[in-house]
Amino acid sequence: MRILIKNGYAVDDEKELKTDILIENGVIAEVGNIDAGAEKVIDAEGMIVMPAFAEIHAHQGDTPDKLSLSALSGGYTKVALLPDSNPPIDSEMGIRYIRDKYRCLPIKVCPIGSISKGLKGEELSEMGRMKSSGAVAFSDVSGIKDLMFVDRALRYSRDMRTALMFKPDDCGGLMNEGYYSTVYGLAGIPPEMEEILLVNLSILSKRHGVHAHIMDISTKGAVEALRQARDNGIKLTSDVTPYHLILDESELASYDTNLKINPPLRNREDIRALKDAVRGGLIDAISSDHTPRPKEAKCVEFSKADFGISGIETVFSLVVTYLLGDGTIGFKDMARLMSTRPLQVIGLNPVRIEKGNQADLVIADPEREYVLESMHSEDNNPFVGKRLRGMVMYTISSGEVAWERGMSNDNAETSRKYR
C-alpha cells in the first residue's frame, strides 16, 4: 500500500523540516516535494510527523489487544515488556511464549527476560539462551538485593552486550520520605536509597565494563550520581517518567491511589534536577513505565493499593502539555527521548525519517486539546478527567496505518485484523 503524507512537519533527533513523505512496501520511499499518487493521502498540515515511539519498559497486565490499542493510540509501535508475569519470564521457553503471544499485533513487543530464576535474586536465569531467543534486555524489576549476586549477573552479561535494567525498590514505604510523608501519615521511601543504587551500579558496571540501566530515576542525588558515573566513562543509562517531571509529593494530599507509584513522586527540587538532566541529555529516555492495574487493585485504601500508572497512551500529551509548554524540551528532544535513545538502549536500530528506513511513524497535532475521558487500557491514570494538549492522529507501523483517530479501527478489532 502506498501512503502519501502531505505538508507535515517532519522531526527526528537530527532534523526538522516541512516536507511530504511517500511510504511504499513498508519503507519510506521518498522525502521531499512529492506529487505521486497513493491509495491513501494524509493531509498533515499543522501536524508533526515523527518516528514512532518506543516504550523501553512496560509491566505486564494488559491483554494483547489492550496493549496494542493503548500503544498505538499513544504513538508507540515498539514495547519492551518486563518479565513480571506469573510465572515470571525467566527461561528460553518464556521468551518464545511472549514472542508468539504478541506476534500477530501491529506493534512489536520485545521481551525482557529476568536476571534471576523466579525474580528471586538468588540463582541466575538462562540469560544466554533467552538472548538467543529474542530477549532485548534483562531485569528483575527491582534494585540490588544482594551485591554479590548482581556482581555475578553483570559479569555474566559481559559477552552478551545486553543491558541489565534495575528499578529502585519501595523499601516498604508508600511515598517520598520527608515533610509530607509525616503530615499525611504515610510510610516514607528514603530518596537516598535510589542514590545508593546508582553508586553501587556505577562501581559494578565499571568493574566489569558492562551496560546497566536505571529505570524511573527520580531524585536529585541519583542525577548527581549518574552524572559522576558518566563523567568517569561508565556505561550507565537511565530513563524518567513524565509523572516525575510534572507532579510532586504534595499531590498526595488527595490520597489518590492513582498517584501511588514506585519510585514515588518526589519534591520540587528533585523535579528541577530531573528537568535539567533531561534538557542536557544526561537522561536517555522518557518512559511511561506502563503499569495497568484493575479497579480492585486501586479502589482500596492507599496502603493496600498497588503501585503504578497505566500511562503509555498519555505520554505524548503530557510531554506536549507540560514539558514543551514550559520550554524544558523541543520536538527534536522528544524524538531522541521517546524513539531514538530508547531503541538504542535495548540494542535496536533507531528509525529516522529518511529514504529507505522502515516506515514506523506517528502523526500528531500538537495544538489539539482534549479532555482525557477514559483509557484503552485500565483507568489507573491520575490525568483521567484532565484537559491535555497534543493528540496522536495516526500511527503507522511497518508501512500500514495501524491506528487512526476517530475511525472504526479505534476498538478491539484493531489488532485482530493483522492476524
- Looking at residue 338, the DSSP 8-state letter turns out to be I
Looking only at the bridges linking them, the beta strands covering 40-43 and 48-51 are unpaired
109 Cβ contact list (under 8 Å, min separation 6):
67, 78, 79, 80, 81, 98, 99, 101, 102
Please give the helix or strand (H or E) that residue 275 lies within, else none. Answer: helix 268-279
User: Which of 284, 289, 333, 379 is flagged as catalytic?
Assistant: 289
Amino acid making up residue 331? F
Our answer to whether residue 365 is catalytic in this structure is no
- Interior CA angle at 63 toward 62 and 66, to 5°? 75
List, in sequence order, the alpha helices (H) in 22-156: 64-73, 92-101, 127-132, 147-156
| Residues 86-118 as b or e (16 or more Cβ within 10 Å = b) | eebbbbbebbeebbeebeebbbbbbbbbbbbbe
Amino acid making up residue 281? G
**Cell 528537568 -> residue:** 275
Q: Exposed (0-12), middle (13-18) or buried (19+): which is 184, by Cβ within 10 Å?
A: middle
Q: What is the Cα–Cα distance from 51 to 38, expressed in whole angstroms? A: 21
41 Cβ contact list (under 8 Å, min separation 6):
3, 4, 6
Residue 394 near residue 401, CB atoms below 8 Å: yes
Looking only at the bridges linking them, the beta strands covering 400-404 and 361-371 are unpaired
- Looking at residue 83, the DSSP 8-state letter turns out to be S
**Cell 511511561 -> residue:** 288
Q: What is the Cα–Cα distance from 399 to 413, expressed in whole angstroms? A: 19
Strand partners, 237: 213
Residues labelled catalytic:
289
